[in-house]
Amino acid sequence: MPLIIPSEVRADIIQRIRDAEAEHGVRVLLAVESGSRAWGFASPNSDYDARFIYAHPKDWYVSVGLEEQRDVIEYPIVDDIDINGWDLRKALRLFWKSNPAFVEWIQSPIIYTEQTSFAAEARKLLSTVYSCERGIYHYRSMAKTNYRGYLKAADLVPLKKYFYVLRPLLSVRWLERYGTAAPIEFSKLLHLIEGEHALLGDIDALLAKKRAAPEMGLDKPFASIDAFIESELARLETITPDQVQKSEVLPQLNDLFHRILAQTWS
């Protein structure tokens, strides 16, 4: 299914981003769609999850009280549009820690605006900075939490939660097979279970139901999908996180930070 944002919604989101720049005195470097619309399994009434990275003027970062200054911009959901962003320094520090949200934002297939070379250079650094071990642990934990909290032993289950389990489990398989950050589009992960025809058939049926159902639509469980989830969670049970941050990449992230500030406010 093509990943399309209606033109009037796209225009509204871009205008809100421009309004945020004016209100806060910042410049937005990258704005993307996150969540189910970017992942490829949105319901008709799913929210639009717009996320952005922004930069303050250079002097903002030269302050005794830097750590006390707010480094996020958040707005309430209005007309099904959920929009918020992170300051550049915060974003790069989270990138250093292989933060899954940041890693997914820079890979989003739906881009609202992209200014300076920030996003392109961050993508180039992804293979150097990103820790597959941390990624595997994150996705395993996400799958386990959603499966036990919403799907296990339930008579009716929220369809969306199946994808909050399946996508992370397939992302783990991607990390194990390719040793690179997993793409965020669900369709790009399905080849990792090729040959399991009954399972793929049920996932296709689940996708069709999810795309046609309300955001919190319920249905009966899928036995083959539950069996796959149980098997994968059992296989991954012994994984522990890699606590070591890659200190050797800090000079590259610092260099990127300074170059992007220079580009933004030259």
Render pLDDT for 185-239 as a digit per residue (tens, 0 to 9): 999 999 999 889 999 999 999 999 888 877 777 888 899 999 999 999 999 988 7
Residues 6+ apart with CB under 8 A from 192: 170, 173, 174, 177
CATH number, position 259: 3.30.460.10
* Residue 138: domain span: 132-235
Which residue is listed with tokens 């930070």? 257
At 12, phi and psi to the nearest 5?
-65, -45
pLDDT reported for residue 239: 74
Asked if residue 139 and residue 219 are part of one domain, the reply reads: yes
User: Do 114 and 164 belong together in one domain?
Assistant: no
Structural contact between residues 118 and 193, judged by C-beta atoms closer than 8 angstroms? no
Q: Do the domain assignments include residue 2?
A: no
Both structure tokens of 189: 């992960």
Could you tell me if 154 and 141 lie in one domain?
A: yes
| Nearest to 19, CA basis, from 31, 7, 6 | 31
Domain for residue 188, yes or no?
A: yes
Whether residue 137 sits in one domain with residue 122: no
Within-domain flag for 57: yes
| Same domain, yes or no: 150 and 40 | no
- To the nearest whole number, what is the mean pLDDT of the chain? 92
Residue 126 and residue 249 share a domain? yes
Alpha-carbon dihedral 133, 136, 142, 146, rounded to 10 degrees: -150
Is 239 strand, coil or helix? coil
Long-range contacts of 43-46 (CB under 8 A, 24+ apart): 43/160, 43/210, 43/211, 43/212, 43/213, 43/214, 43/215, 43/217, 44/211, 44/212, 44/214, 45/80, 45/214, 45/215, 46/80, 46/215
| 1 falls within a domain | no
- Share of residues in the chain with pLDDT > 70 (%): 97
pTM above 0.85, yes or no: yes
| Pair (76, 161) in one structural domain | no
* Position 240 in a domain: no
Same domain, 203 and 259: no
Task: State pLDDT tens for residues 142-180.
Answer: 999 999 998 987 789 888 899 999 999 999 999 999 999
What token pair was written down for 20?
A: 């945020």
Residue 243: pLDDT above 70?
A: no
pLDDT value at residue 140: 95
161 and 89 share one domain: no
Length of the chain: 266
Distance (Å, whole) CA 239 – CA 134: 10
Those residues whose C-beta lies under 8 Å from the C-beta of residue 49, and which sit 6 or more positions away, are 33, 34, 35, 36, 37, 38, 82
Let me know whether 126 and 251 are in one domain: yes
Predicted pLDDT of residue 266:
81
Q: Is residue 21 part of a domain?
A: yes
Structural domains of the chain, count: 2
Q: Return d(Cα 165, Cα 163) in angstroms, integer.
A: 5
Over the stretch 82-117, which tens digit does the pLDDT of each residue have? 999 999 999 999 999 999 999 999 999 999 999 999
In this structure, the answer to whether residues 72 and 180 fall within a common structural domain is no
Would residue 102 count as lying in a domain?
Answer: yes
Q: How many CB atoms lie within 10 A of CB 167?
A: 22
Of 169, 154, 164, 167, the C-alpha closest to 219 is: 154
Both 19 and 116 in one domain: the answer is yes
